[in-house]
Every structure is written in C-alpha cells, then in structure tokens.
C-alpha cells in the first residue's frame, strides 16, 4: 500500500451500508468542488466492511466545481484503501494496526454498522430469524446477544482500537486538527423518550451504545481534546434496515440515504470538540439521553 499524499483521512466503518455509500459519494464530490485544488492534495478514504472490496462512486456533480482538473485527475487525487473485517475483536485490532501504517491525519470517522432484524442483514442464516419484539414474551437470549454485539459492542471495540491511533496523531499535527466521530444510534435508544415500548433488544442495545459513547467522551475530554463524539439518529431512511417497517412512516419522513448523508456532513462540519458527546437527530437537534 502506498503512502497517502494528503493529511486528510476519512474512515468509514460499515462502508457497504446505504448511508455509508452516500456519505462516501458526497465526500468525493465535496473534495472535487474545492477551488484551485492541486492534484497533490489528495483525500484519503479508508473503507471497512465485511466485503472483500468496495469501489468508490463516480463523481456526480463535477460540473459545479471551479477546478480545471479532469475527472480522472480528481479521482486520482482520492486515495482509497479498503479493509475487510469480520468485526471480531482480533480482526478489528489488526485492521486498525494496518490503517495506522498508511493513514494521514484522521479528520472524520463514521460508523454505519448495526442490525435491527435478520431480513437482508448480515446475520448467520442458520440462526433463528431476528425481528423487533412486540411484547415481552418475544424476548430471546440469542437475539439479544446478536443485537448487543452488533449495535453496542462492535462500535466500542472500534473506539477502543482507534484511540491509540488518534492519540499518536495528536502529537504529529500542529494545531491539533479536529476529528469528528459519528456513530449511528437511534432515537429509540433514548431512555427518557420511550413512550411506545416494544423493540426491547434494539432499544436497549442503542441505549447501551449511547452510554458507551457518553462515557468515552468523558475520557476523551482528558486525553483527546480535539475529538468530538456524536451519536447520530438518521431518521427513518430508505434502507434494508427499515424496509419491513416503512408502511407506517408518515409522508415525507422516509429519507433517502443521500439526504441523510448530506445532513450528517453538515452536522460534522459544524461540530466542534467541547469535551462532551452529542446525541443528535438528522436536523442537528439534540435528543434527550
């Protein structure tokens, strides 16, 4: 793997998800729109998923840029590295070790992995089907284990493994360039906002994720002052995760991945490290923990 030519690195975990793909596409287009962009100033995008490979999307709005570079030159200024990971602790740690060898200055990390049900999601097909519980009698120990591992434990394993990398970067960069980390959460993970009940495992795993993010922010306030943590609620997005439940979504409230990715980009642009975690919806509005 070659050394990146840029100090700006974006890491996207769960990069095969619809929101992740849209986020990556918009990152590429934003890079292309920068005025007077020298070819040498490349954007490094590091993608991670279970897939063996992921291709970067084609630039879609290059006509809006003031650059005089060709599409090939612009795409040549984007350094893409993909890592396949099974999301077990040893694999995550090895993946971060490999990333540390080639990463520039990490400015954004987006975690888009998670599960709600087994239909169209990566769950062992030999196991019983997984769907949100409608009543307490539906509680199943194995389903809870799957939900907590994917939605709570995996993001925390990534944060743990990435902390040394972010700590090393702090000593290398003048001015301590900010790094914003966004992790997909959900409004149903809010304990104080739970009025409907049901969905026990998903609610609890997202609530646990929120606590883990909030606790990490307390430590980062001492160790990594230029890192901002965000628990992000994307709203109901038109993806396989929400597909079985879209019939009851009010008109105008089913968002495209591109819309959600654009909102997330804006939120991350405008977020500054303040020693605290933020729990935000797609509008950038805070949600009660």
Domain that holds residue 106: 8-281
Q: What is the DSSP string of 229-259?
A: EEEEE--SBSSTTTGGGGGGSPTT--B-HHH
- 3-state DSSP assignment of residue 82: strand
Instruction: With CA atoms as reference, report the closest residue to 65 among 37, 38, 26, 33.
Output: 33
95 burial (CB, 10 Å; 0-12 / 13-18 / 19+) is buried
**Does any domain span residue 202?**
yes
* Burial class (CB within 10 angstroms; exposed 0-12, middle 13-18, buried 19+) of 262: middle
The mean of the pLDDT values for the chain is 86
**Phi, psi of 281, deg, nearest 5:** -95, 180
- CATH number of the domain where residue 167 is located: 3.40.50.720
Number of domains in the chain: 1
Model pTM above 0.75: yes
Inside any domain, residue 217: yes
Distance, CA of 166 to CA of 235 (rounded, Å): 29
Report whether pLDDT(19) > 70.
Answer: yes
Task: Please indicate, yes or no, if residue 82 is contained in any of the structural domains.
Answer: yes
Report d(CA 133, CA 205) in Å as an integer. Answer: 13
- Give a three-class secondary structure readout of 90-102: HHHHHHHHHHHCC
Residue 161 is predicted with a pLDDT of 98
The rounded distance, in Å, linking the Cα atoms of 269 and 168 is: 23
Helix or strand run (H / E) with residue 221: helix 200-223
123 inside domain: yes
pLDDT in tens, 201-256: 999 999 999 999 999 999 999 999 999 999 999 998 988 888 777 777 788 888 99
1 located within any domain: no
Q: Is residue 14 situated within a structural domain?
A: yes
- Above 80 in pLDDT, residue 4? no
Instruction: Please check whether residue 27 is in contact with residue 45, taking contact to mean a CB–CB distance below 8 angstroms.
Output: yes
Q: Which residue has the higher pLDDT, 33 or 17?
A: 17
| Burial annotation 150-176 (CB, 10 A radius, 16+ → b, else e) | bbbbbbbbbbebbbebbeebbeebeeb
Q: Supply the pLDDT for residue 57.
A: 76
pLDDT tens digit sequence for 150-198: 999 999 999 999 999 999 865 454 456 899 999 999 999 999 999 999 9
- Indicate whether 79 belongs to any domain: yes
CB 14 within 8 A of CB 50: no
Q: Are 279 and 231 in contact (CB under 8 A)?
A: yes
Confirm whether 289 is domain-assigned.
Answer: no
């Amino acid at each position: 793997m070659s050394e990146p030519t840029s100090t700006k690195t974006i890491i996207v975990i769960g990069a095969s998800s619809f929101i992740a793909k849209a986020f990556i596409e918009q990152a590429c287009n934003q890079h292309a729109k920068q005025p007077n962009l020298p070819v040498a100033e490349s954007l490094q995008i590091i993608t991670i998923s279970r897939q063996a490979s992921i291709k970067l999307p084609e630039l879609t709005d290059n006509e809006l840029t003031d650059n005089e570079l060709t599409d090939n030159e612009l795409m040549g200024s984007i350094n893409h590295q993909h890592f396949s990971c099974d999301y077990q602790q040893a694999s995550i740690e090895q993946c971060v070790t490999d990333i540390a060898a080639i990463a520039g200055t990490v400015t954004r990390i987006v975690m888009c992995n998670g599960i709600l049900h087994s239909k169209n999601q990566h769950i062992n097909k030999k196991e019983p089907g997984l769907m949100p519980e409608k009543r307490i009698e539906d509680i199943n120990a194995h389903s809870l284990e799957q939900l907590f591992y994917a939605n709570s434990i995996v993001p925390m394993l990534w944060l743990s493994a990435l902390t040394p990398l972010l700590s090393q970067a702090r000593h290398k960069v003048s001015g301590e360039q900010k790094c914003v980390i966004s992790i997909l959460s959900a409004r149903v993970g809010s304990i104080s906002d739970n009025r409907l009940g049901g969905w026990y495992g998903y609610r609890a795993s997202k609530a646990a994720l929120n606590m883990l993010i909030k606790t990490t922010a307390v430590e980062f306030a001492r160790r990594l002052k230029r890192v901002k943590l965000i628990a992000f609620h994307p709203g109901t997005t038109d993806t396989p995760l929400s597909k079985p439940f879209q019939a009851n979504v009010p008109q105008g409230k089913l968002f495209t991945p591109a819309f959600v990715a654009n909102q997330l980009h804006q939120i991350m642009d405008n977020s500054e490290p303040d020693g605290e975690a933020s729990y935000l919806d797609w509008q950038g509005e805070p949600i009660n923990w």
